[in-house]
Amino acid sequence: MDSIKHKGLIIVVIGVLVLLAIVIFFNPTAPGGDSDDDMNAGDEIAPQETARYTNEDPQKVIAAFPDGFPAEFDQVKTGQQYIPANSTNRLSTITYESKKTVAENRKIFKDYLAADGYAIMNNQETAAETFYYAMKGNSVFTISIIERDGAVNVSASYSPDLSN
């Protein structure tokens, strides 16, 4: 059964990494895309026929996360935002190399999600990897914590409203 869970975690992590790769490599000023200045956290956005991806100043993306979210914001090196086609929803993603262990991060994020009223809908936990998919109403968090070659990498994505 552990093999099935491990394979499930690998599939989920690969999915998150593919999403991040799409966000990182797509040009935000492609036809139908927004420039960085048009996608600041909190800005009103209008639906467009094409999806919009952008690399942002990490501080702009951090501002889209709820107050109290326990990421190591001083370690955040990349921030991306994604807006699906025909939508005003915004998925904000930060990635960073953590100074904490996988176990420490797991406890911090799991405790935060529980304390803030998020229900963990899907989770995978191994010694070197953790993934959480959590919801509260229409707000969604995905958190991936992976240790590779002695480094602990954290990726957190947040969408405040999926009802549009």
* Residue 109 DSSP code: H
Cβ-proximal residues to 46 (8 Å cutoff; 6+ apart), any chain: 88
Indicate whether this model's pTM tops 0.85: no
Residue pLDDT, tens place only, 58-67: 888 888 999 9
Distance in angstroms (rounded) separating the CA atoms of residues 128 and 145: 8
Domain residue spans of the chain:
2-159
Mean pLDDT score of the chain, rounded to an integer? 80
10-14, 113-117, 132-136: segment of lowest average pLDDT:
10-14
Look at residue 59 in the predicted model and tell me its pLDDT. Answer: 84
